[in-house]
């Protein structure tokens, strides 16, 4: 699973219609995020057993019991060090070359 301060990439931003009413911000597929915290979560239907993550930079309203709404951890994948380095290089305007294997 994940740990706080770990970099992850969103792999699923297919949210149910109307969910934006419950959140200030939603993660976007292929965007890199940093885990703020990991907590027990529950589905929109109220089913327990999910693992929820909070992301640095995305702070959402609390639910009716005062707990911030998180995102199902299954929507994210960990980044490898190479992926992180490549993403930083692209943000800094550098070209990223993949090795060619004959």
pTM for this prediction: 0.74
Domain-located, residue 100: no
Which two structure tokens, joined as six digits, stand for 57?
């930079």
C-alpha span between 100 and 90 (Å, rounded) = 19
- Residues near 10 by beta carbon (within 8 Å), at least 6 away in sequence: 27, 28, 29, 30, 31, 33, 75, 76
Domain hosting residue 76, numbered range: 7-91
Instruction: Give the pLDDT score at 96.
Output: 46
Please give the average per-residue pLDDT across 41-56, as a whole number. 84
- pLDDT exceeds 60 at position 15: yes
Report how many domains make up the chain. 1
Domain-located, residue 101: no
């Amino acid at each position: 699973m994940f740990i706080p301060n770990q970099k992850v990439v969103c792999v699923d931003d297919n949210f149910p219609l109307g969910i934006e009413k419950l959140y200030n911000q939603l993660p976007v597929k292929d965007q890199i995020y940093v885990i703020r915290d990991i907590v027990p979560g529950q589905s929109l239907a109220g089913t327990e057993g999910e693992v929820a993550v909070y992301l640095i930079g995305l702070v959402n309203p609390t639910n009716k019991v005062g707990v911030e709404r998180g995102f199902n951890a299954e929507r994210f994948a960990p980044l490898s060090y190479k992926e992180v380095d490549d993403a930083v290089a692209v943000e800094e305007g550098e070209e990223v070359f993949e090795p060619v294997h004959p």
